[in-house]
Protein backbone atom coordinates (compact mmCIF):
# COMPACT_ATOMS: atom_id res chain seq x y z
CA UNK A 1 0.00 0.00 0.00
CA UNK A 2 1.03 3.57 -0.56
CA UNK A 3 2.46 5.10 2.59
CA UNK A 4 2.10 8.81 3.27
CA UNK A 5 2.78 10.85 6.37
CA UNK A 6 -0.27 11.67 8.42
CA UNK A 7 -1.39 15.26 8.40
CA UNK A 8 -1.57 17.37 11.57
CA UNK A 9 -4.53 16.90 13.88
CA UNK A 10 -7.78 18.22 12.48
CA UNK A 11 -9.27 21.37 13.91
CA UNK A 12 -12.71 19.84 13.55
CA UNK A 13 -14.34 19.08 16.91
CA UNK A 14 -14.24 15.43 17.85
CA UNK A 15 -17.98 14.88 17.79
CA UNK A 16 -19.63 13.46 14.68
CA UNK A 17 -23.34 13.98 13.98
CA UNK A 18 -25.47 12.41 11.28
CA UNK A 19 -29.04 13.19 10.37
CA UNK A 20 -31.63 11.04 8.66
CA UNK A 21 -35.01 9.60 9.44
CA UNK A 22 -33.64 7.90 12.54
CA UNK A 23 -32.83 11.25 14.14
CA UNK A 24 -29.47 12.67 15.16
CA UNK A 25 -26.83 10.21 16.26
CA UNK A 26 -23.86 11.58 18.16
CA UNK A 27 -20.67 9.54 18.31
CA UNK A 28 -17.48 10.56 20.06
CA UNK A 29 -14.50 10.23 17.74
CA UNK A 30 -11.39 8.64 19.19
CA UNK A 31 -8.20 10.66 19.47
CA UNK A 32 -6.62 8.64 16.70
CA UNK A 33 -9.56 9.09 14.32
CA UNK A 34 -9.30 12.85 14.85
CA UNK A 35 -5.55 12.88 14.46
CA UNK A 36 -5.05 11.05 11.21
CA UNK A 37 -6.65 13.04 8.45
CA UNK A 38 -5.57 12.05 4.97
CA UNK A 39 -5.52 13.73 1.55
CA UNK A 40 -8.15 12.52 -0.91
CA UNK A 41 -8.17 11.79 -4.59
CA UNK A 42 -5.25 9.36 -4.87
CA UNK A 43 -5.18 8.27 -8.49
CA UNK A 44 -5.08 4.60 -9.47
CA UNK A 45 -2.18 4.17 -11.89
CA UNK A 46 -3.89 1.23 -13.58
CA UNK A 47 -7.09 -0.74 -13.06
CA UNK A 48 -4.98 -3.77 -12.16
CA UNK A 49 -3.25 -1.70 -9.49
CA UNK A 50 -6.69 -0.86 -8.09
CA UNK A 51 -7.65 -4.55 -8.07
CA UNK A 52 -4.42 -5.41 -6.30
CA UNK A 53 -5.14 -2.81 -3.62
CA UNK A 54 -8.69 -4.14 -3.18
CA UNK A 55 -7.44 -7.72 -2.82
CA UNK A 56 -4.79 -6.65 -0.32
CA UNK A 57 -7.35 -4.66 1.67
CA UNK A 58 -9.70 -7.62 2.07
CA UNK A 59 -6.88 -10.07 2.73
CA UNK A 60 -5.71 -7.83 5.59
CA UNK A 61 -9.03 -6.57 6.94
CA UNK A 62 -11.44 -9.51 6.71
CA UNK A 63 -10.73 -10.72 10.24
CA UNK A 64 -11.64 -7.23 11.48
CA UNK A 65 -14.84 -7.28 9.42
CA UNK A 66 -15.81 -10.59 10.97
CA UNK A 67 -15.10 -9.45 14.51
CA UNK A 68 -16.75 -6.04 14.18
CA UNK A 69 -19.60 -6.58 11.74
CA UNK A 70 -20.20 -10.34 11.64
CA UNK A 71 -20.57 -12.86 8.83
CA UNK A 72 -22.73 -10.52 6.73
CA UNK A 73 -20.51 -7.58 5.75
CA UNK A 74 -23.18 -5.65 3.87
CA UNK A 75 -25.57 -2.88 4.96
CA UNK A 76 -28.43 -3.42 7.34
CA UNK A 77 -32.00 -2.53 6.33
CA UNK A 78 -34.26 -0.81 8.86
CA UNK A 79 -37.54 -0.24 6.99
CA UNK A 80 -39.57 1.41 9.77
CA UNK A 81 -39.01 3.66 12.74
CA UNK A 82 -39.89 0.70 14.98
CA UNK A 83 -37.22 -1.45 13.33
CA UNK A 84 -34.66 1.34 13.69
CA UNK A 85 -35.31 1.31 17.41
CA UNK A 86 -35.51 -2.43 17.92
CA UNK A 87 -33.67 -4.39 15.23
CA UNK A 88 -30.03 -5.36 15.76
CA UNK A 89 -27.54 -4.92 12.95
CA UNK A 90 -27.57 -8.71 12.47
CA UNK A 91 -31.33 -8.80 11.97
CA UNK A 92 -31.16 -5.71 9.75
CA UNK A 93 -28.61 -7.47 7.54
CA UNK A 94 -30.93 -10.45 7.14
CA UNK A 95 -33.74 -8.00 6.38
CA UNK A 96 -31.71 -6.70 3.43
CA UNK A 97 -31.32 -10.23 2.06
CA UNK A 98 -35.06 -10.77 2.45
CA UNK A 99 -35.78 -7.53 0.61
CA UNK A 100 -33.65 -8.71 -2.30
CA UNK A 101 -35.47 -12.03 -2.29
CA UNK A 102 -38.83 -10.24 -2.34
CA UNK A 103 -38.02 -8.02 -5.33
CA UNK A 104 -36.53 -10.90 -7.32
CA UNK A 105 -38.89 -13.69 -6.25
CA UNK A 106 -35.93 -16.05 -6.29
CA UNK A 107 -37.06 -19.68 -6.35
CA UNK A 108 -36.00 -22.24 -3.78
CA UNK A 109 -33.46 -24.86 -4.72
CA UNK A 110 -31.81 -22.91 -7.52
CA UNK A 111 -28.16 -22.65 -8.55
CA UNK A 112 -26.81 -19.26 -7.48
CA UNK A 113 -23.56 -17.44 -8.23
CA UNK A 114 -22.78 -15.08 -5.33
CA UNK A 115 -20.36 -12.52 -6.79
CA UNK A 116 -18.15 -10.73 -4.27
CA UNK A 117 -19.35 -13.18 -1.63
CA UNK A 118 -17.27 -11.73 1.20
CA UNK A 119 -17.33 -14.04 4.21
CA UNK A 120 -20.09 -16.14 2.69
CA UNK A 121 -22.94 -15.03 4.94
CA UNK A 122 -25.45 -14.58 2.12
CA UNK A 123 -24.32 -17.79 0.42
CA UNK A 124 -24.95 -19.73 3.62
CA UNK A 125 -28.35 -18.08 4.10
CA UNK A 126 -29.49 -18.97 0.58
CA UNK A 127 -28.28 -22.55 1.01
CA UNK A 128 -29.68 -23.15 4.48
CA UNK A 129 -32.96 -21.23 4.12
CA UNK A 130 -33.82 -21.76 0.43
CA UNK A 131 -32.00 -25.01 -0.33
CA UNK A 132 -29.92 -23.33 -3.02
CA UNK A 133 -26.65 -24.62 -4.44
CA UNK A 134 -24.42 -21.55 -4.12
CA UNK A 135 -21.01 -20.82 -5.59
CA UNK A 136 -19.41 -17.78 -3.97
CA UNK A 137 -16.55 -15.98 -5.68
CA UNK A 138 -14.22 -13.34 -4.26
CA UNK A 139 -10.91 -11.80 -5.23
CA UNK A 140 -9.59 -12.31 -1.68
CA UNK A 141 -7.69 -15.43 -0.64
CA UNK A 142 -8.43 -14.69 3.00
CA UNK A 143 -12.17 -14.39 2.39
CA UNK A 144 -12.26 -17.81 0.71
CA UNK A 145 -10.51 -19.29 3.74
CA UNK A 146 -12.84 -17.60 6.24
CA UNK A 147 -16.01 -18.33 4.25
CA UNK A 148 -15.07 -21.99 3.98
CA UNK A 149 -14.22 -22.27 7.67
CA UNK A 150 -17.45 -20.58 8.76
CA UNK A 151 -19.45 -22.83 6.43
CA UNK A 152 -17.84 -25.97 7.81
CA UNK A 153 -18.62 -24.80 11.33
CA UNK A 154 -22.25 -24.08 10.42
CA UNK A 155 -22.59 -27.42 8.65
CA UNK A 156 -21.14 -29.34 11.59
CA UNK A 157 -23.43 -27.53 14.02
CA UNK A 158 -26.47 -28.19 11.88
CA UNK A 159 -25.65 -31.85 11.45
CA UNK A 160 -24.66 -32.33 15.06
CA UNK A 161 -21.37 -33.70 13.78
CA UNK A 162 -17.79 -32.84 14.60
CA UNK A 163 -16.78 -32.37 10.96
CA UNK A 164 -18.20 -31.19 7.66
CA UNK A 165 -16.21 -32.19 4.62
CA UNK A 166 -16.41 -30.91 1.06
CA UNK A 167 -17.84 -33.13 -1.64
CA UNK A 168 -16.03 -33.96 -4.88
CA UNK A 169 -17.02 -30.59 -6.37
CA UNK A 170 -15.91 -28.62 -3.30
CA UNK A 171 -19.41 -28.06 -1.89
CA UNK A 172 -20.29 -28.10 1.81
CA UNK A 173 -23.82 -29.22 2.67
CA UNK A 174 -25.96 -26.77 4.65
CA UNK A 175 -29.51 -27.91 5.33
CA UNK A 176 -31.06 -28.79 1.97
CA UNK A 177 -28.55 -26.65 0.10
CA UNK A 178 -24.80 -26.44 -0.27
CA UNK A 179 -22.04 -23.87 -0.73
CA UNK A 180 -18.52 -23.59 -2.11
CA UNK A 181 -16.13 -20.67 -2.40
CA UNK A 182 -13.65 -19.90 -5.17
CA UNK A 183 -10.96 -17.24 -5.44
CA UNK A 184 -11.76 -15.57 -8.74
CA UNK A 185 -11.64 -12.12 -10.31
CA UNK A 186 -15.30 -11.51 -11.20
CA UNK A 187 -14.28 -10.05 -14.57
CA UNK A 188 -13.25 -13.59 -15.55
CA UNK A 189 -16.43 -15.32 -14.45
CA UNK A 190 -17.84 -15.55 -17.97
CA UNK A 191 -14.81 -17.50 -19.17
CA UNK A 192 -14.34 -19.46 -15.93
CA UNK A 193 -17.83 -20.95 -16.11
CA UNK A 194 -17.71 -21.52 -19.89
CA UNK A 195 -18.04 -25.28 -19.45
CA UNK A 196 -21.18 -24.60 -17.43
CA UNK A 197 -22.48 -21.84 -19.71
CA UNK A 198 -25.98 -20.64 -18.86
CA UNK A 199 -25.95 -22.79 -15.73
CA UNK A 200 -27.08 -20.40 -12.99
CA UNK A 201 -30.64 -19.59 -11.99
CA UNK A 202 -29.45 -16.40 -10.33
CA UNK A 203 -26.44 -14.13 -10.08
CA UNK A 204 -26.41 -12.34 -6.73
CA UNK A 205 -24.18 -9.32 -6.15
CA UNK A 206 -24.38 -7.15 -3.04
CA UNK A 207 -22.12 -4.10 -2.62
CA UNK A 208 -19.40 -5.51 -4.85
CA UNK A 209 -20.09 -4.08 -8.31
CA UNK A 210 -19.08 -0.58 -7.20
CA UNK A 211 -15.53 -1.99 -6.87
CA UNK A 212 -15.41 -3.23 -10.48
CA UNK A 213 -13.56 -1.07 -13.02
CA UNK A 214 -15.43 -2.57 -15.99
CA UNK A 215 -19.09 -2.66 -14.98
CA UNK A 216 -20.34 -3.23 -18.52
CA UNK A 217 -18.29 -6.44 -18.66
CA UNK A 218 -19.94 -7.65 -15.45
CA UNK A 219 -23.44 -7.28 -16.89
CA UNK A 220 -22.40 -9.08 -20.07
CA UNK A 221 -20.84 -11.89 -18.03
CA UNK A 222 -23.95 -12.15 -15.85
CA UNK A 223 -26.13 -12.50 -18.95
CA UNK A 224 -23.73 -15.12 -20.26
CA UNK A 225 -23.80 -17.42 -17.20
CA UNK A 226 -27.55 -17.10 -16.51
CA UNK A 227 -30.06 -19.61 -17.77
CA UNK A 228 -32.97 -18.30 -19.82
CA UNK A 229 -35.31 -16.75 -17.26
CA UNK A 230 -32.46 -16.48 -14.74
CA UNK A 231 -32.23 -13.43 -12.51
CA UNK A 232 -29.60 -10.88 -11.59
CA UNK A 233 -30.18 -9.66 -8.03
CA UNK A 234 -28.28 -6.51 -7.11
CA UNK A 235 -27.67 -4.11 -4.23
CA UNK A 236 -25.08 -1.35 -4.39
CA UNK A 237 -23.83 2.15 -3.59
CA UNK A 238 -24.44 5.07 -5.96
CA UNK A 239 -23.88 8.76 -6.32
CA UNK A 240 -26.95 10.95 -6.70
CA UNK A 241 -27.97 12.14 -10.14
CA UNK A 242 -27.05 15.66 -11.26
CA UNK A 243 -24.58 16.06 -8.43
CA UNK A 244 -22.81 19.41 -8.22
CA UNK A 245 -19.04 19.76 -8.10
CA UNK A 246 -18.99 20.92 -4.49
CA UNK A 247 -21.09 18.00 -3.24
CA UNK A 248 -19.03 15.55 -5.28
CA UNK A 249 -15.75 16.86 -3.87
CA UNK A 250 -17.05 16.91 -0.29
CA UNK A 251 -18.92 13.60 -0.17
CA UNK A 252 -18.30 11.28 -3.11
CA UNK A 253 -14.60 11.75 -3.83
CA UNK A 254 -13.45 10.72 -0.31
CA UNK A 255 -15.75 7.67 -0.49
CA UNK A 256 -14.30 6.60 -3.84
CA UNK A 257 -10.82 7.18 -2.50
CA UNK A 258 -11.12 5.53 0.90
CA UNK A 259 -13.26 2.60 -0.23
CA UNK A 260 -11.02 1.87 -3.24
CA UNK A 261 -13.74 2.52 -5.80
CA UNK A 262 -13.52 3.50 -9.44
CA UNK A 263 -15.97 6.32 -10.24
CA UNK A 264 -19.39 5.64 -8.72
CA UNK A 265 -22.39 5.33 -11.06
CA UNK A 266 -25.93 6.59 -10.75
CA UNK A 267 -28.82 4.13 -10.49
CA UNK A 268 -30.06 4.74 -14.09
CA UNK A 269 -26.56 3.97 -15.38
CA UNK A 270 -26.81 0.42 -13.97
CA UNK A 271 -30.18 -0.04 -15.65
CA UNK A 272 -28.71 1.12 -18.97
CA UNK A 273 -25.74 -1.23 -18.66
CA UNK A 274 -28.01 -4.17 -17.84
CA UNK A 275 -30.38 -3.58 -20.74
CA UNK A 276 -27.47 -3.04 -23.14
CA UNK A 277 -26.21 -6.49 -22.06
CA UNK A 278 -29.56 -8.01 -23.04
CA UNK A 279 -31.21 -8.23 -19.62
CA UNK A 280 -34.76 -7.10 -18.89
CA UNK A 281 -35.70 -5.01 -15.88
CA UNK A 282 -37.48 -7.21 -13.36
CA UNK A 283 -37.55 -4.71 -10.49
CA UNK A 284 -36.78 -1.02 -11.02
CA UNK A 285 -34.20 0.51 -8.66
CA UNK A 286 -35.65 0.89 -5.18
CA UNK A 287 -33.79 3.63 -3.32
CA UNK A 288 -33.53 2.66 0.36
CA UNK A 289 -30.85 5.15 1.39
CA UNK A 290 -32.70 6.41 4.46
CA UNK A 291 -33.38 2.83 5.55
CA UNK A 292 -29.74 1.69 5.45
CA UNK A 293 -27.91 4.83 6.61
CA UNK A 294 -27.92 3.66 10.24
CA UNK A 295 -25.27 1.16 9.10
CA UNK A 296 -22.65 3.89 9.09
CA UNK A 297 -23.67 5.37 12.44
CA UNK A 298 -23.11 1.92 13.94
CA UNK A 299 -19.92 1.37 11.95
CA UNK A 300 -18.41 4.69 13.02
CA UNK A 301 -19.06 3.89 16.66
CA UNK A 302 -17.56 0.40 16.26
CA UNK A 303 -14.30 1.67 14.80
CA UNK A 304 -13.61 4.11 17.63
CA UNK A 305 -11.02 1.69 18.90
CA UNK A 306 -7.43 2.94 19.23
CA UNK A 307 -6.00 -0.44 18.27
CA UNK A 308 -7.97 -0.45 15.02
CA UNK A 309 -6.77 3.03 14.09
CA UNK A 310 -3.22 2.03 15.00
CA UNK A 311 -3.54 -0.97 12.68
CA UNK A 312 -4.93 1.24 9.92
CA UNK A 313 -2.03 3.67 10.35
CA UNK A 314 0.44 0.79 10.12
CA UNK A 315 -1.01 0.01 6.68
CA UNK A 316 -0.23 3.50 5.41
CA UNK A 317 -2.43 5.93 3.56
CA UNK A 318 -5.01 3.41 2.32
CA UNK A 319 -5.73 2.19 5.85
CA UNK A 320 -6.39 5.66 7.20
CA UNK A 321 -8.35 6.75 4.11
CA UNK A 322 -10.60 3.70 4.52
CA UNK A 323 -11.62 4.56 8.08
CA UNK A 324 -11.94 8.27 7.31
CA UNK A 325 -14.33 7.38 4.46
CA UNK A 326 -16.83 6.28 7.11
CA UNK A 327 -17.40 9.94 7.94
CA UNK A 328 -17.95 10.76 4.27
CA UNK A 329 -20.48 7.92 4.03
CA UNK A 330 -22.49 9.32 6.95
CA UNK A 331 -22.30 12.82 5.57
CA UNK A 332 -23.23 11.67 2.06
CA UNK A 333 -26.33 9.89 3.30
CA UNK A 334 -27.34 12.91 5.37
CA UNK A 335 -26.79 15.29 2.40
CA UNK A 336 -28.48 13.01 -0.13
CA UNK A 337 -25.43 12.86 -2.38
CA UNK A 338 -24.63 9.23 -1.56
CA UNK A 339 -27.37 6.71 -2.34
CA UNK A 340 -28.17 3.02 -1.90
CA UNK A 341 -30.54 0.96 -4.01
CA UNK A 342 -31.65 -2.58 -4.80
CA UNK A 343 -32.83 -3.80 -8.20
CA UNK A 344 -33.29 -6.99 -10.23
CA UNK A 345 -33.03 -8.05 -13.86
CA UNK A 346 -33.93 -11.15 -15.85
CA UNK A 347 -32.53 -12.94 -18.86
pLDDT in tens, 110-150: 999 999 999 999 999 999 999 999 999 998 898 999 999 99
Write down the pTM of the prediction: 0.82
Whether the CB-CB separation of 255 and 264 falls below 8 Å is answered with yes
Distance, in Å, from the CA atom of 152 to the CA atom of 126, rounded to the nearest integer, reads: 15
Pairing of strands 200-206, 226-239: parallel
Instruction: Note the residue count of the chain.
Output: 347
| Long-range contacts at 64-72 (CB < 8 A, ≥ 24 apart) | 64/308, 64/311, 65/118, 65/119, 66/119, 66/146, 68/299, 68/302, 68/303, 68/308, 69/299, 69/302, 70/121, 71/119, 71/120, 71/121, 71/124, 71/150, 72/97, 72/118, 72/119, 72/121, 72/122, 72/125
- 137 by Cβ neighbours in 10 Å (0-12 / 13-18 / 19+) ranks as buried
In this structure, of 211-220, 237-246, 251-260, the range with the lowest mean pLDDT score is 251-260
Whether the CB-CB separation of 43 and 126 falls below 8 Å is answered with no
Q: Which of 173, 195, 320 is nearest to 260 (CA)?
A: 320
pLDDT tens digits for range 297-326? 888 887 777 777 777 777 777 777 877 888
Residue 284 is predicted with a pLDDT of 98
Residue 325 is predicted with a pLDDT of 85
Whether the CB-CB separation of 257 and 321 falls below 8 Å is answered with yes
Average pLDDT across the chain, whole number: 82
Residue 198 is predicted with a pLDDT of 73
Residue 41 is predicted with a pLDDT of 40
Residue 238 is predicted with a pLDDT of 98
Q: Which of 79, 93, 159, 88 is nearest to 122 (CA)?
A: 93
Query: Per DSSP, what are the bridge partners of residue 236?
Result: 341
Whether the CB-CB separation of 1 and 308 falls below 8 Å is answered with no
Residue 143, phi-psi category: left (phi > 0), alpha (psi -120 to 50), beta (remainder):
alpha
Query: Per DSSP, what are the bridge partners of residue 137?
Result: 115, 182
Distance, in Å, from the CA atom of 123 to the CA atom of 62, rounded to the nearest integer, reads: 17
Residue 4 is predicted with a pLDDT of 27
Q: Which CATH number fits domain 31-346: 3.40.50.150, 3.40.50.1980, 3.30.420.40, 3.40.50.2300?
A: 3.40.50.150
Domain ranges of the chain: 31-346
Residue 46 is predicted with a pLDDT of 60
Distance, in Å, from the CA atom of 127 to the CA atom of 262, rounded to the nearest integer, reads: 32
Amino acid sequence: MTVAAALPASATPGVESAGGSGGVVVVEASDLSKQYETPIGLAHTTMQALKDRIKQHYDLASDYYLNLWGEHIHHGYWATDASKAADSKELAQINLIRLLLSISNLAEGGHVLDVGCGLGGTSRFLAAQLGCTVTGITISTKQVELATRLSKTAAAAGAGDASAEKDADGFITLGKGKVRFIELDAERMGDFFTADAATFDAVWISEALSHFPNKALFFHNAERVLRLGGKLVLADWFKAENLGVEAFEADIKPIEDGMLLPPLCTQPEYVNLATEAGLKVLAEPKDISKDVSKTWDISWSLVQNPSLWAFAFSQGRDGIAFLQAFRAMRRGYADGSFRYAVMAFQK
